[in-house]
Every structure is written in structure tokens, then in C-alpha cells.
Amino acid sequence: MKLALIADIGGTHVRFALWRDGRPQALRVLATGDYPGPEEAIRAYLAALELPLAALETACLACAGPVHGDRFSLTNNHWRFGRLALTHALGLRQLLVINDFAAMALGMTRLAEHERLTIRPGQAAVGSPRLVLGPGTGLGVSALLPDGPGNWRVLPGEGGHVDLPLGNSREVALWQLLQRDLGHVSAESVLCGSGLLRLYRVSCRLDGQQPRLDSAAAVSAAALAGEAGAMAVLEQFCCWLGRVAGNHALTLGARGGVYLAGGILPHFAAFLRDSGFSRCFVDKGVMSGYLQDIPVWLAVAEQPGLLGAGLALDAWAKRQPA
């Protein structure tokens, strides 16, 4: 029996599954740091399932980074590979490589109501684009464009690397410290796992305090426990996420709604909902009213990126000659 493999490759982890009957099966999560590249990780995944490499026929790899040409470099890990070389090494008939947030966006099209939480109520405009973004190891951004009744076309991009927007004097002061450390200050510089810790440290510097927390998880945990300094940092994180989401929604005209995704936000969903995210999302001067009715949802589904990779593989296969 010929098998289809799907993978969601991030900066820290790669999630593998087999695509059967329209859904991911046999999910395994591996650390990208444990393998020199995707070929070795795929071989290890199949070996763990006691499946021969020859059983694999097609695959879709959703990769965290720009996707164009034959050569691929992951933005936040060391993996580098060529599509043709990997196709031959694995003996595949077809190999599709897409951006990871393109896959995430496709996964949003299959969310059930219980798989999304309302962060900002509104009225989704029928026939309008939708924005998908979310912090993880990096900051992913993609878009869904309407393509006929019930159909969507994905517009991938690298919107996580836009400049970090500034809305008040404290944000300017924080940006100055970040710029001193980093040079270019992108949205992803703050809006990702390592970025939350970076924001905590520059906030401590700005306030003349000694940092005592040493991970993003510790910062969010301290904030949820009511520690004032950590709460202020997480609040700033949410505000900056709102500013970035609002900027992208304006650019895209995303009146169909905004999906927040990724592995970080579900850990503090209630905090995010009650934070300044919504205020900063619409804080666009004369264009604030344009954003006022746009709903924002937080995706809490299991592995939507893998689901999207499978949907992309199905759609691509239909376009191939018999």
C-alpha cells in the first residue's frame, strides 16, 4: 500500500503524520536539532512506525521559511535541502514543499466552532480575505483569499519580518533598546517564544530591575500568577501583537476575520482576550473604524498545520496529469 506523508516543520520541532482518509494519522513529533535534515528525520519517523521507505509515494513538507525554487533554508533552524534531491533520495513520485503558514491557513478553513475561541467579537464580511498569523519559534503570517463559494486560495508571505510598529513613548524606549541589541527590529524580534523573553529582559533594563526569569514559559507563568512585572511584559506582548495584526489586516483588507494560531497563545488565551490586544488592533487613527467590526479568533485545534499540509497535497494531486 502506497503512503502519503505530511510534515509541519518549524524552528524547533517537526510534526510528521500519514495522510489517510482526509485526516492526519500516526502523528509523531521530533526535535529538528536531533537530525541533520529532513531526509534523516523522515527515515526515523518511518522506522518508528516499522514502515519501509519504499511504501512512501508522495509527501508534502510545510516549512517555516520562504518557499521558491529548488533549494530551501529553514529560517529558524539549520535544515537545508533541495526538493529534487530529496525526492530522489526518498524514492518519491511527488514531493510538494509549501510555506508552513500557508499550511496553517488551509487548516483554518476546516476549524469547527469548538476549535476556535473568540478574542475579539465582530461580523465577518462574506467574500473578504482572512488573515492568519501567530507566534511560535518565529512569527508566521499568511492570508486566505476567497476563490468561489466555500473555496479559498492561500497567499503566503514573510509578514513576520515587517518592522515592529510603535504606538507610544514606552514602546519607543523599548524599541531603542532592542535596536541597540539587534539592529533591525522586526515584529518577530518580540512576537515569538524567544522574543517574549527578549521583551522581558529589555523591559527590566528600561525599568532598572534585575531580570530573574530565564524563559518565555517562566514569564507567561509569572504573569498568569499575578506577578506585576511579568504581567506588564505579557500585556505589552499582546499589545504589539494587536498592532501587527491590525497593520496586516489593513494591508490585506481582511474584513473576513483574523485567525491567531501557533503554540504560544493558547497558554494565555484569557489574558490575551482581556488585554490591550483589541484596543491596539483598531488603533489606526482615521482608519480605526475600518477595523472595528473585524472578528479575531484564536485557533485551539490539534495540529491545524498538518491538516493544511494534507489539504494542500490533495489539491495539488488533483492538478497533476494522470
CB 158 within 8 A of CB 141: yes
Show Cβ contacts of residue 299 under 8 Å, excluding neighbours closer than 6 positions. Answer: 107, 108, 111, 115, 116, 134, 259, 260, 261
Pairing of strands 258-260, 130-135: parallel
Give the number of other CB atoms < 10 A from CB of residue 270: 10
SS3 137: coil
246 annotated to bind ligand: no
Interior/surface letters 11-33, b for 16+ CB within 10 angstroms, e for the rest: bbbbbbbbbeeeebebeeebebe
Kindly provide the residue ranges of all beta strands, DSSP E only, lying in 83-149, ordered along the sequence: 94-99, 116-120, 130-135, 139-146
Give the residue carrying C-alpha cell 496553517: 104
> At 156, which amino acid appears?
P
9 annotated to bind ligand: yes
242 annotated to bind ligand: no
7 annotated to bind ligand: yes
CB 143 within 8 A of CB 130: yes
Q: Is the alpha carbon torsion for 197, 203, 206, 208 positive or negative?
A: negative
Binding-site residue numbers are 7-12
Binding-site residue numbers for ATP are 7-12
